[in-house]
Amino acid sequence: MKRDEAIKLIKENVKTQSLINHMFSTEAIMERLAENMGEDKTQWALCGLLHDIDFDITRDNPKEHGTYASKILKDTDVDKDIIHSIHAHNFEYTNITPETKMDFALISADAMTGLIIACAMVKEKKLENVSDKTIKKAFKKKGFAEGSKRDNIKLCAKAGISYDDFVTESREAMMTISEILGL
């Protein structure tokens, strides 16, 4: 599936702009990680872009999140590895075990976007004011950006990237789309 086809599918299924921004953020991080880890940039970016395609639909039923996305994507030409990663990124509810670097990278990137956006919100709503130090300090604060599961962020190690490098790569990736995000 090409990116423009993915965007069309997103517009059909996602109505919340903040969720779309989150999906763009995850896409940017996944693409950056793939590039730096010698993985397929197009595949990883598409995985990040599509990962929450069902969230508006399943918001009140977390057990369906990822599973419903698989149903949306089953009749498309989206690679089965991407569909597996999307299904596995909600492993706590779907019981689909994350196995690959892409699986773990998606889980980590998904959680990291919220932490970085929350940091930007307290830094004059500008990503350029967010440093690695800001993110690491926020990571340790109980109650700050509670939806950003710290244990999921730490799974970056299973994707083959250290926490310190993951923070840097994630922040820099999101900086490249700061205009899109309005931050």
pLDDT per residue as tens digits for the range 79-107: 999 999 999 999 999 889 999 999 999 99
Q: Is the pLDDT of residue 136 over 90?
A: yes
User: What average pLDDT does the chain have?
Assistant: 95
pTM: 0.95
The structural domains of the chain, ordered by start, are: 3-178 (1.10.3210)
> b/e per residue, 64-80, with b = 16+ CB within 10 A?
bbbbbbbebbeeeebbe
User: What pLDDT was estimated at residue 39?
Assistant: 97
Range 76-81 average pLDDT: 94
Tens-place pLDDT, residues 20-67: 999 999 999 999 999 999 999 999 999 999 999 999 999 999 999 999
Q: What is the pLDDT of residue 147?
A: 84
Q: Write down the pLDDT at residue 73.
A: 94
